[in-house]
């Protein structure tokens, strides 16, 4: 799967988790699973494309978190952002 397809897939998955009205702990567990799969999928890409994908998803989710009025959605975006930032720190 190409980086652009993965971007769309994971952006959609993260937004789906964020839009559910689950309690924060359930959302956190689900987003952790999504981000673990994202990490595995990025390892299947070249280092350049994996970094590019993380950076693009990070930028998109930062923008959405900044403009999000819903606190539950913002919390899910923040959890995903922390995972992406941690992955970027390791990859650099």
Tell me how many domains the chain contains. 1
What is the domain range of residue 66?
3-91
Instruction: Report how far apart, in Å, the C-alpha atoms of 5 and of each of 34, 39, 68, 72, 81 are.
Output: 15, 15, 24, 26, 19
Of the pLDDT bands very low, low, confident and very high (cuts 50, 70, 90), residue 92 is: low
Of 71, 66, 53, nearest in space to 11 by CA: 53
Cβ pair 30, 16 in contact under 8 A: no
Mean pLDDT score, 69-86: 92
At 15-26, the pLDDT tens digits run 999 998 778 889
């Amino acid at each position: 799967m190409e980086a652009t397809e993965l971007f769309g897939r994971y952006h959609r998955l993260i937004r789906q988790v964020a839009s559910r009205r689950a309690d924060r702990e359930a959302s956190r567990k689900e987003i952790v699973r999504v981000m673990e799969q994202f990490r595995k999928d990025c390892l299947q890409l070249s280092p350049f494309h994996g970094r590019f994908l993380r950076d693009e998803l990070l930028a998109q989710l930062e923008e959405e978190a900044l403009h999000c009025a819903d606190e539950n959605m913002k919390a899910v975006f923040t959890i995903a952002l922390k995972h992406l930032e941690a992955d970027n720190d390791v990859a650099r």
